[in-house]
Amino acid sequence: MDTNLTKSKLNSVAIREEVEFPVVEKMIEYLYEAKVPSDASHEEIKQLLNLANTYGINCLKFVCEDMLKS
């Protein structure tokens, strides 16, 4: 078994849906700063919600749901 290949698979993440790169950046920013940028558009928030559901990021899911309600 190729140990290097196994390690690289463990350290990578595949985004399988069609998601715009700025939305992925916003998700990563949320993971570091625990906030969604105020300049996020309605469509970006919907995409963030989809990513949060896909990757089980419940706190981001709740934030996005609240933002979409207001």
The 10s digit of each residue's pLDDT in 21-67 is 999 999 999 999 999 988 999 999 999 999 999 999 999 999 999 99
CA distance to 18, 26, 36, 65, per residue, from 33 (Å): 24, 10, 8, 18
Task: Name which of 28, 30, 33 is nearest 15 in CA terms.
Answer: 28
Could you tell me the residue ranges of all domains in the chain?
19-69
Is the per-residue pLDDT at 12 higher than 80? no
Confidence (pLDDT) at 25: 93
Confidence (pLDDT) at 19: 83
